[in-house]
Amino acid sequence: MNPVMTIAWRDIRSYFSSPKGAAIFFFFLGFMGFFFQNFVATFVEMTQRAPMFGGQAPTLEQLLRALFYNLHFILILIIPAVTMSSFSEERRNQTLRLLQTSPVTATQIVFGKFLASAAVLALVLACSAVYPLFIKAYGNPDVGVILTSYLGVFLLICAQVAFGLWVSSMTSNQFMAFLFTMFGLFLLLILNWIAPNLTGGGILESVVKYIASTDHLDVFFKGMLTVADVTYFLCFTVMFLFFTNVVLDSQRWR
Amino acid sequence: MIEVSGLSKRFGTVQALTDVSFKVEKGQIVGFLGANGAGKTTTMDIMCGCIGADAGSARIAGFDITETPLEAKRRLGYLPDVPPLHGEMRVEDFVTYSARLHKIPAARVKGRVDEALDRLSLTEVRRRLVGNLSKGYRQRVALAQAIVHDPEVLVLDEPTEGLDPNQIVQIRELIRSLAGQHTIILSSHILSEVQNTCDHIIIVHGGRVVQQGSYEELVQHMQSGRLYRLRVARDASRLAATLAAAGNLVGVRAADDDEQALEFGLTKDVGDEALDEVVRHTVDGGHGLRELAAKTKSLEEVFFQLTQ
């Protein structure tokens, strides 16, 4: 087996041979279910009320978009929980030495870890498909929008995992890794809203807004698939994987 | 087989290693001996590519660890001082994982794992979780991890640490059975272990190699400063203080087996006339000389003298 796959497979198994994997699934799907139930109830209520007040009834797409926005929020809590252990735990248990003294490169280690975390989250994401499927069973949503939204969220997950790995590679303390990843991702989410306060307008504001993940994700949620936004997430992912690689490699020189 | 030259390493303000050089021939077992904090683990970490050196190089089977790390690491089995174990894995899964990391062809993985488990008598616990094993078993799992890919060079950092006497004997036998086909370097602060197991001994102290050679060579080298045993009738501890203050003597201490006996060595540059002075102190102090004899040295005494 390729060393990348060996490392990834061990990590994936490790998520599920401890309660950690189960806990992640439980909280993610539990919260998603709670929000789904709530949103659907609101959706039904608003649909019934709309004719009475002469307003427009909400569309299924709006319901889905609300659901996906929520997904973004939940991910901010879930991603750090998945990535925090990837390097920090190995460092704390000294198992990182096993990887460092094996004939594998730092890049292979980073890709292995990335694949493992991304695969676990992709699995979680796949399970969350039960909610859109529910809507599909009882309604008539645009399947294209659901698919692009899922692609967007998956790309977002890859970017967030890369960021989480980078943070995790710098500390042997899992809690610190969790905290820093969570706040980093949170900052990325709200960057769009606080950009005017940070920069006072101008070109700088648009740069900061570009860095934020929200606008790019919106494009996917609207059912569009653009090269620019796919590139944004891919660049983000590659950049932080590269940073992780640098951190890991540089430790041999400290 | 192993060639280390001019290694230096500094951690912040602490100079961990200074110009450490040694060579290990193929098939040898070499003991790396030093007190805690002498630089044993740092040297091994550098040799295995975990950390980098500030200066110097290490070659494993002809491959430089920093320039051709993959080739060097493929020929290397490392047991660090803290066993690198994943507690949530089963013993056989963990050893299989290690075998795969070391790029053993898929068809041979199972055979190699079985052999490693068998060698370390881990077969009956192969389905247990590593985290649930006792310390001795865990140490053996870590050792299985190091030998599973049949490396040419084995680096063992305190392999018998935390084991019970039976297990220590077992591990020692295993290490000796691995010699010949493998080149082994093992660190320890337990002198008897090194004396019994190793062909060649390297003594490190304060980040420097202070002496190296076979056990006989080391002892012979130290004969210039011979060790003596002095037994008196009374007040040995007071005499010890007097002698220590007199100079010319090193390592004055009470003997382990007799409270009225002392042991001491002569510093290298003084001759046997220093003994006259010892006798004079003994008689003048009214201690009553009973016995003064030269001792053959054990490794412990060589070590003691070198690292004072």
Q: Does A3 touch chain B (CB under 8 A)?
A: yes
Report how far residue A142's alpha carbon sits from residue B29's, in angstroms, rounded to the nearest whole number: 71
Average of per-residue pLDDT values in chain B: 84
pLDDT over 90 for what percent of chain B?
18
Domain boundaries along the sequence of chain B:
2-214, 221-306
If pLDDT is split at 50, 70 and 90, which confidence band does B142 have?
very high
Q: Looking at the DSSP assignment, which residues form a beta bridge with residue B208?
A: B205
Cβ atoms of B214 and B200 closer than 8 Å: yes
Looking at residue A98, its amino acid is: L
Chain A residues whose beta carbon lies within 8 Å of the beta carbon of residue B88: 14, 17-18
Q: Does A250 touch chain B (CB under 8 A)?
A: no
The highest-confidence range among A145-154, A192-201, B276-285, by mean pLDDT, is A145-154
- The three-state secondary structure class of A232 is helix
Q: Tell me what the mean pLDDT of segment B143-168 comes to.
A: 87
Q: Looking at chain A, which residue has its C-alpha nearest residue B48?
A: A101
Q: Does A98 touch chain B (CB under 8 A)?
A: yes
CB nearest to A101's CB, from B76, B86, B103? B76
Instruction: Report pLDDT for A49.
Output: 85
The DSSP code sequence of B32-74 is: EE--TTSSHHHHHHHHTTSS--SEEEEEETTEETTTSHHHHHH
Q: Tell me what the mean pLDDT of segment A179-205 comes to.
A: 84
Chain A residues whose beta carbon lies within 8 Å of the beta carbon of residue B80: 94, 97, 101
Hey, what are B276's tokens?
């006259």
Angle at B7 between CA B172 and CA A103, to 5 degrees: 65
pTM summary value: 0.82
CB nearest to A252's CB, from B52, B76, B100? B52
Q: Tell me what the mean pLDDT of segment A214-242 comes to.
A: 91
pLDDT for A241 beyond 90: yes
Q: Does A172 touch chain B (CB under 8 A)?
A: no
- How would you label B148-182 residue by residue, b for 16+ Cβ within 10 Å and e otherwise? bbbbbbbbbbbbbbebeeebbebbbebbeebbeeb
Cβ atoms of B279 and B272 closer than 8 Å: no
Q: Does A56 touch chain B (CB under 8 A)?
A: no
Q: Tell me what the mean pLDDT of segment B120-141 comes to.
A: 90
- How would you label A11-27 residue by residue, b for 16+ Cβ within 10 Å and e otherwise? bbbbbebeebbeebbee
Chain B residues whose beta carbon lies within 8 Å of the beta carbon of residue A96: 84
ipTM of the complex: 0.87
Instruction: Report pLDDT for A62.
Output: 85
| B259-301: pLDDT as tens digits | 788 888 777 666 677 788 888 888 888 888 888 887 766 666 6
Note whether B2-214 and B221-306 share their fold.
no
Report how far residue B229's alpha carbon sits from residue B244's, in angstroms, rounded to the nearest whole number: 14
| A51-87: pLDDT as tens digits | 787 777 788 888 888 888 888 889 999 999 999 988 9
Looking at residue B170, its amino acid is: Q
pLDDT for A225 beyond 60: yes
Compute the residue count for chain B.
308
What class is the B2-214 domain?
alpha beta
pLDDT for B165 beyond 60: yes
Is B221-306 assigned to CATH 3.30.70.100?
yes
Q: Please report where in the chains the tokens 């292995």 appear, as a residue.
A: A112
Hey, what are A177's tokens?
């890794």
Chain A residues whose beta carbon lies within 8 Å of the beta carbon of residue B147: none
Instruction: Report pLDDT for B308.
Output: 64
Cβ atoms of B229 and B293 closer than 8 Å: yes
Q: Which residues of B touch A (CB under 8 A)?
A: 45, 48-52, 66, 69-71, 73-74, 76, 78, 80, 82-89, 93, 97-98, 100-103, 106, 145
Angle at B129 between CA B166 and CA B148, to 5 degrees: 65
**Chain B: closest CA distance from residue A165 (Å):** 19
**Residues in CB range of B40: below 8 A, 6 or more apart:** B32, B34, B157, B187, B204
